[in-house]
Amino acid sequence: MNVSVRLRTNTKAESKIAVFADVVLELADGKIELHGFRVFRPNGKPAWVAPAASKGEKKFFPHYSLGGELRKRVETAILAEFEKQASAAR
């Protein structure tokens, strides 16, 4: 399985979200596209990834759920691309 990532800039200056990420999982018999991951980097702390979610009255509800090794591979790919682009911008 190949994981490709496309980052989109967050235009809100005061947001804790550094960038948005879209992911394509290329499988042997097709592909899956997951849109709207968010990369947070609050106040210089390590970056972390959250899936797309909708805000409810008391909490956020994810649009989809990934588990196990798949979740690790997707989050690692997103953070690697984020760090690569952040390093290139410096």
Whole-number mean pLDDT of the chain? 93
Query: Would the pLDDT of 89 be above 80?
Result: no
CB 63 within 8 A of CB 51: yes
pTM: 0.90
Number of domains in the chain: 1
Decide: residue 55, CB within 10 A, 0-12 exposed, 13-18 middle, 19+ buried: exposed
Domain that holds residue 33: 2-89
Q: What is the mean pLDDT of residues 16-28?
A: 95
Q: Given the structure tokens 């690790």, which residue do they identify?
A: 72
With a pLDDT cut of 70, the percent of the chain lying above it is 99
pLDDT tens digits, residue range 54-88?
999 999 899 999 999 999 999 999 999 999 998 88
